[in-house]
A and B are shown apart, each in its own frame.
Chain A
Amino acid sequence: MKIIKRTIIVVFCLLLIPVAAIATAGAKQRFEDGPNRVFSGGPLVTGELHLGPDPDWSFVSDIPTIEMQLLDPAQSRRIWIAEYENKIYVWSGYMGNPIGRLWKQWPIQAERDGRAVIRINGIRYERQLKRLRTGDVLDGLTAAITAKYPSATTRAAVEAGDVWVFEAAPRS
């Protein structure tokens, strides 16, 4: 019995080292200008702020990920982006189950306050995230998503609430 107890303690202690490393790296990233890979970053500070009309967004088709920050809370993360009919969209999967909703907090925060800043190629754009729940646009958009990424996003998944899709519209 004693050896089992000791084994559990040893395993726990050895696990503590990588857990400390991950927690520290995650906490450190919160103070950086933007995210790195998977950990959320701090506010997007550097980069020219785009003013004026929207550009031709078709160039985002060649960009794998962008940095996106909500104003409240002021945290940023790296996410996928799709362009369809010269509008840009971001989305989050795994929203249909409790673990996914616990893991992915930004869609819930974005629905509450959609003000966001995105940074693409070092240029920051002020946007307003507007959630799309249904509509014919989802057919073309999900086709654009699955053509660009290894994703199984479908209109049905969006309408069922498993995938939350937001248009990153200009902030007026």
Chain B
Amino acid sequence: MKNFNIFTAVAVVATILAVLFIPGVDDYVERTFQVYLGRAAR
């Protein structure tokens, strides 16, 4: 369980850094979010 918690923390930090600094990741996240938001709004 301890290893899983470390994995989660690393994954969250890596995700934040990827969205902030890798071009196109933020747009991919927003596009995906838009799909689910659109489904929920219907």
Contact = CB atoms under 8 A, between A and B. Distances in A.
Interface of A: 6, 9-10, 13-14, 16-17, 20-22, 24-25, 28-29, 36-39
Contacts of B26: 24-25, 28-29, 36
A24 B8 contact: no
Given A13-B4, A38-B37, A20 B16 contact: yes
Nearest to A24: B19
Chain B interface SS verdict (over half): helix
B33 A25 contact: yes
Interface in B24-42: 25-27, 29-31, 33-34, 37
Interface of B: 1, 4-5, 8, 11-12, 15-16, 19-20, 25-27, 29-31, 33-34, 37
A128 B42 CA distance: 31
Contacts of A37: 27, 30-31, 34
A21 to B, nearest CB: 5
